[in-house]
Amino acid sequence: METVSVQKIKNIIFDYGNVIFEIDFKKAQNALSQLGIPNIESFFGHKGHAELFSKLETGAITPAEFRSGIRDAASNEALSDEEIDNAWNSIFVGVPPTVHDTLLEMKSKYRTFLLSNTNEIHYNYFLDYLKKEYSIENNDHLFEKTYYSQLMFLRKPDVEIFQRVLTENNLVAEETLFIDDSSQHLVGAANAGMHTLLMDKKPAELRQFLLDHKLL
């Protein structure tokens, strides 16, 4: 893990899943398996997955086309949209109560941004969750700007997605820290010249993680 010189850091880009919103890949794997999808580890894993998911995350296919791909993978044309969405959304656990306050505290000290690989189905799910659980419309007030892969037609770890966030916001890469729970995504950020930190705690411990790294 990189030792970050905190004095240099003026900007922090946060990942969403398992940094802010706790997710559970195993739950989603189990749910997709129960739909009849074989070889689930290679089809949908933390470090790699079928191209179907990347296409959804970059807006290259619609949710309807994604669902069709799931039916094909499960060899079951009878699967309903609801069954597929429920399995796909089972990855979500929740946002711990203290996390939003921590993010607002960070926003008062740094220029902060959100950069998430997500997709239309998940995006709609977590917006609904935030409304129900926290009475907020979205994540916009927690950051200077939010970025979602399916709206950018790019995904991490492509260097281009990081460069776009830097360029659009006039950020100096050497003054920018990227925090993600996926080591492969950190490689892309490092290739764009940023500092990186691997999130190795659960979202409930985000504040402690930031304190441990002297960012708070």
**How do residues 109-159 score in pLDDT, each as one tens digit?**
999 999 999 999 999 999 999 999 999 999 999 999 999 999 999 999 999
184-212 tens-digit pLDDT: 999 999 999 999 999 999 999 999 999 99
User: What sign does the dihedral 215-105-158-37 (CA atoms) show?
Assistant: positive
Phi, psi of 155 (to 5 degrees): -145, 155
Measured over all CA atoms, what is the biggest interatomic distance in the chain, rounded to whole angstroms? Answer: 57
Q: CA 92 → CA 11, 63, 126, 175, 190, distances in Å? A: 27, 18, 8, 32, 28
Find the helix or strand (DSSP H, E) in which 188 lies: helix 183-191
Considering the chain, what percentage of its residues have pLDDT values greater than 70? Answer: 96
